[in-house]
Amino acid sequence: MLRLYYSQDEIHTKRSDDSVEPMAIGCDIVEIARIREAAERHPRFVERVFSTAEIVECRQKTNPWPSFAARFAAKEAVIKAMPGDFVPPLTEMEILKDTTGKPQVHFTGLTAEYAAKSGWKRWAVSLSHERTHAIATVIAWGRPEEGTNECDW
């Protein structure tokens, strides 16, 4: 069992064996209409922001815009949870459902390298939306090696 502990500077999980793991949290909220309007104004917007697999997954919905907006929010939340000043290309972060329908964060390219170097070993994402807004929360945790929490790229 994990318990969440936080101080002014850090958030940690405390395991039942009393070991402590640092963690990072990112959260973002997006207006669904802004994502739809950006795609309508800029025909290549969707391809510049989302991977092919994400586009396929979102377009399976009758109304794909809440799904696109939630994934956009998730990518922004990932950026907030990443250490250092690295801002990954949005297409190198994929938010895809696993076989049970649960969203997962996947990294490719330099972002995968950076995420591995950062020391965060596990990433979790939660997506939600209502009529006008989509929100995502991302948690990164693990046991970074000494000195790996602040990547110097």
pLDDT digits (tens, 9 = 90+) for 71-82: 999 999 999 998
Total of domains in the chain: 1
pTM greater than the 0.95 cutoff? no
Does residue 131 sit within a domain?
yes
Q: Return the CATH number at 29.
A: 3.90.470.20
pLDDT digits (tens, 9 = 90+) for 99-110: 999 999 999 999
- Residues making up the annotated binding site are 28, 76
Does residue 35 sit within a domain?
yes
Residue 54 lies in domain? 25-141
Does residue 153 sit within a domain?
no
Does residue 120 sit within a domain?
yes
Does residue 54 sit within a domain?
yes
Banded model confidence at residue 54, pLDDT cuts 50, 70, 90: very high
Check residue 120 and give its pLDDT: 84
Does residue 13 sit within a domain?
no
Does residue 130 sit within a domain?
yes
pLDDT digits (tens, 9 = 90+) for 23-40: 899 999 999 999 999 999
- Residues making up the annotated binding site for Mg(2+) are 28, 76
Give the separation between CA 101 and CA 98, rounded to whole angstroms. 5
Q: Which of 95, 99, 105, 88 is nearest to 69 (CA)?
A: 95
Mean pLDDT, the chain, whole residue set: 86
Write 87-94 long-range contacts (CB < 8 A, 24+).
Answer: 88/114, 90/48, 90/49, 90/50, 91/48, 91/49, 91/50, 91/51, 94/51, 94/53, 94/54
